[in-house]
Structure 1
Amino acid sequence: MFYRYMMLFTMLLCLGACQSTNVQSDYDTKYDFSDLKTFHFIDTPDQGDPLSAERIRANILSTLTAKGFVEQQENSDFTVSYGFLTKDKPKSSGLSIGLGTGTSGSHGGVGVGTSMGIPIGSDSAKIQVIQVDIIDTKENRLIWRGTDEFDFESGGDEKVVETSKTITNILALFPLAQRLTKQPKC
């Protein structure tokens, strides 16, 4: 009986260890998002990284277009603004706790262990935080905001892929307010 409980507990720990998305969003709960069909971009101020700015804009455009929205400069239903920030990834202590179970013949056992890693050398990883704002054109007010972040070691292909995934994750929550629940990724 004890063994079954421990197996169930271990399975729950494994499910809890699944990586969940960091996407955060907020929206006007009284706004009717079903009327939104067309959009245009607001020019964003230079943030010192034109490569990231262009990748983010291109991914927002392709994601919104794939969702059925149409880019239209004049008389659009909503405008899109975005911003991003790159910061150093905090160094971690490397402390981890593990739980294991096992059997040998008719005997079972449970083990708990800890380990601590000591960071050697520099931690050159960075975090890119991206925020996307949706603004009602007629009322000129914010109606939806989504934010997510990703870690990266260097630019290039890795950053292109992570930027695309992050924008997809952010805009997966737009515009349907009823779908704004976090889903674990395993």
Structure 2
Amino acid sequence: MRTVARSSGLLLGAILLAGCTATAPSKVRVDMAENGLPNCQSFQWLPTPQQPASLTEQRLKNQIMAKLEEKGYAQAEKGDCRVTYVLDMRERPVRKPGVGVGVGGGSGGMGGGIGVSLPIGKRNEQAGTFTVDIVDAAKNAQVWSGSLDATFLKAEPNEDETREIVAKVLEKYPDRAPK
């Protein structure tokens, strides 16, 4: 009987620990054309049509182009490939209070419990999916896409957040082979 109680206690402990583990940070998802990447040596920015450049767009453009230059690519007015991005933002709601009730028994005894969770000091987070798209200029076809789910302090990512998400996504884009 003791081994059953001990096993039950260990199992309950393992379940509680598994429920408390943090989720892993979001990973970069990459999708590439079946025939591979074109021989891009230079990039040009593919602007958003008929919209003034927002502060976010300016930050992202500067970071993306700087990161591509670090990887050995050049900027050109008529580049081999074009680059653009999509930033889909949404507000993540505040957690609501919760109540839990449990009943259990073992070793001839019976017990129960009630738990209450109150989200104190929590505010809404801004969540978003950031995607960088690479388009082969000659074929006018998308050839690479990298995306990342991220959370932000405000509705518009700041300079540090912008630098971080661009670096993570473009880390997966290949460096240009020296010629």
Q: TM-score, normalised by structure 2?
A: 0.66
Structure 2 distance, partners of 1:141, 1:25, is: 16
Q: Tell me whether 1:42 sits opposite 2:46 in the alignment.
A: yes
Task: Kindly indicate whether the alpha-carbon contact (under 8 Å) linking 1:149 and 1:166 is maintained by their aligned counterparts in 2.
Answer: no
* Distance 1:68-1:77 versus aligned 2 partners, 3 A rule: same
Aligned residue in 2 for 1:173: 172
Report Cα offsets for 1:62-114 as digits up to 9, x if no partner.
Answer: 1101001000112x21100112122101444699xxxxxxxxxxxxxxxxxxx
Match in the other structure for 1:26: 31
What is the match of residue 126 of structure 1?
126
Aligned partners of 1:150 and 1:162 also within 8 Å: no
1:135-171 C-alpha deviation (Å, 9 max, x unpaired): 0111110100111132122378x72111111011111
The answer for the alignment partner of 1:55 in structure 2 is 59
1:141 aligns to 2:141 (yes or no): yes
**SS of equivalent residue, structure 1 residue 129:** strand
**Which 10-residue stretch deviates more, 77-86 or 18-27?**
18-27
User: Aligned pairs, how many?
Assistant: 150
For residue 145 of structure 1, what is the amino acid of its counterpart? Answer: S
Counterpart mapping for 1:108-127 below 5 A: 117-120=117-120, 123-127=123-127
Distance 2:95 2:48 in 1: 34
In structure 2, distance between residues paired with 1:127 and 1:46: 26
From the CA coordinates, give the structure whose radius of gyration is larger: 2
Alpha-carbon separation, structure 1, partners of 2:42 and 2:51: 26
Identity %: 23
SS in 2 for 1:31: coil
Query: Aligned partners of 2:122, 2:25: CA distance in 1, in Å?
Result: 27
Structure 1's unaligned 5+ residue stretches are 1-8, 96-114, 177-186
Task: Identify if the C-alpha distance between structure 1 residues 56 and 32 changes in structure 2 by more than 3 Å, giving closer, same or farther.
Answer: closer
Q: Are 1:162 and 2:161 counterparts?
A: yes
Check the 8 A contact 2:37/2:144 in 1, yes or no.
no
Give 5+ residue unaligned stretches, structure 2.
1-13, 99-114
Q: 1:82 aligns with which of 81, 85, 101?
A: 85
Matched to 2:85, the amino acid is: Y
Change (3 A) 1:48 1:117: farther
Runs of 4+ aligned residues of structure 1 deviating over 3 Å after TM superposition are 16-21, 45-49, 90-95
